[in-house]
Structure 1
C-alpha cells in the first residue's frame, strides 16, 4: 500500500476487554461505553488515519458477541484495522472471525514501513510466549522486508516496566524477540498493550512503546496490583518515510470512566 504523503498515520487501540453483554463491566467500569468514547475521541482528533492496530485483550470473556461488537466499533474508523490476541482472548476464534475480514495478518506493508503482528498469547495462561512458529514468521517478515522500516507489535511487554506484579506476566521468552530485533537497524520500535499504562523508553536504537487501555488503567511503578485514576485513551503514531516516529497518547477528560477504587485484581 503506497500513500501520497511522507508519513503513515497509525492509531493504536488496546485492552478494550469487552464482554458478551454490552453493559458488562471490568472492575466497575463499562468497557463498551469507554471504547465507544475513545473511538469518538479518535474521530474528533485524527483527521487522517491510514491504519488501526488493536493489540490484544479485545475481549475479557473470549465471546463471539464481544468480538463482533469490537469489529462494529472499529468499522466506525475510516482505516483498515488489524488485531492480535492477548491473554484474555480466544486466538482461534479471533483468527476464524478475523481472517475473512482481513483483521488477522502476519504483517502489513504500508508506505515505507512493514508492521509485524505477533501472537504472544498462551492458551489458558496470563503471561506471554512467542511460539517457534511465530518466531519463524517474524524471521520471514524481517528477511523479506527489504529496505522498509519495521514496527513490531505484540500484546505482552518484552521488558521490565518497573511494576513488580506485572514482571511475571510479561513475555516469558523476551530474549528470543529482542535478540532478533536489537541488531537490525530497520526495526525502529516495538509496540504493545497489556500493561494498561503509557510507556515510552529507548533500548539501543529501538523505541519501546505501550499504551493506555481503552478502559481500566493500571498505576505505574506499583509493587502490587493497583488501578489508576487516569482516563482511558489511545496512541497515535506518525511513521515517516525516513524512519522517524512521532507519537503521543491522548486520553478522555479526567474523571471519566473510573474503576472501583476497592478493586484488588481482575
Structure 2
C-alpha cells in the first residue's frame, strides 16, 4: 500500500475519523451495512499507511445505538491500538453516556508541540441541529487568548457553512455567526475539522480551512436537495502539522471496497 513521504520528526500526524454510527452489538447491521466492520477496516487501513500517529480524533456520531455498552466497546478497542485518541459527540450520541475527556462545556485541548487542537461540543441532546453553547464559546475565547504562540485546529461535529444540500443544511451549526465572530479576531487558527455531512469538502473563510471528512459508515451524496446515499467508500482524513505553522491534509478511502447500501431509505 503506498504511503506518503515520511514527515519531519518534529511534525505531528493527526488522523480524523467520523460518523462511525456503531450499534449496540458488533454484528448488527445498519442500512444493510455493518458499521463495526467498516470502522475496523478504516482503522486497519490507516495503521498500515501511518505507523506513527500522534493523535486520532473522532468528530462525532460515534454511536447509532448510544448506550454505555457501545461506548465501552469503542474505548476498549481504541485503547488496544496504543494511539492517543479523543472523541466529541454528534447528534446521534447520548451526552449522558458520552466519554468526554473534559467536563462539558470545557473544551478539550490537545497540545502537540507548536500546535494545539481544541475539541468543541456542537451536539444538543435530542436535536439534530448543532449549537455551541455560549459558556463553551467563552472558554474557547479564553483558550485562544492564552495560546497565541500556538497554531490552532478546532474540531466539532456540525458543519458551520452550507454544503448546498438542502436536507443536511437544515441541520448545520445554527450559531455559526456567533462562532466565527470569535474566530475572526485570531490569526493563529489554521483549520476547523468536522463530520456530520458524510463527505469530503473544503471551505475557506478568513484564511481558515473548514474541512469535512467522509464517514467510516455510509456516505451522503453531495449537492443533493433530498436525502441521498452515495456509493463512495468509507474514509478518513490525514493531517500533517508542520513546525512552521503550515499543514498538509489528504482524504484516504478504502480500496477495493464494495457494499450493498439500502438506497430506499429517506433519512436516519
- TM-score with structure 2 length normalisation? 0.92
Equivalent position of 2:28 in the other structure: 24
Contact 2:107 2:139 in 1 (8 A): no
Equivalent position of 2:215 in the other structure: 213
Deviation at 1:105, TM superposition (A): 5.7
Q: Distance in 1 between matches of 2:55 and 2:33?
A: 27
Deviation at 1:258, TM superposition (A): 4.0
Equivalent position of 2:206 in the other structure: 204
Contact 2:107 2:121 in 1 (8 A): no
Contact 2:155 2:193 in 1 (8 A): yes
Unaligned runs of 5+ in 1: none
Q: Distance in 2 between matches of 1:94 and 1:151?
A: 22
Q: Distance in 2 between matches of 1:211 and 1:73?
A: 22
Residues 225, 73 of structure 1: alpha-carbon distance in 2 compared, 3 angstrom cutoff: same
Number of equivalences: 259
1:122 aligns with 2:124: yes
1:74 aligns with 2:78: yes
Q: Distance in 1 between matches of 2:41 and 2:227?
A: 26
Question: Could you report, residue by residue, the CA deviation over 1:24-78 in whole angstroms, capped at 9, with x for unpaired residues?
Answer: 2221111001101111101111121100101000001211111112113322433
Equivalent position of 1:48 in the other structure: 52
Q: Distance in 1 between matches of 2:165 and 2:70?
A: 29
Question: Could you report, residue by residue, the CA deviation over 1:122-150 in whole angstroms, capped at 9, with x for unpaired residues?
Answer: 11010000111211221121121131010
Runs of 4+ in 1 over 4 A off after TM superposition: none
Unaligned runs of 5+ in 2: 1-7
Residues 73, 233 of structure 1: alpha-carbon distance in 2 compared, 3 angstrom cutoff: farther
SS at match of 2:87: strand
SS at match of 1:94: coil
**Aligned match for 1:33, one of 17, 37, 42:** 37
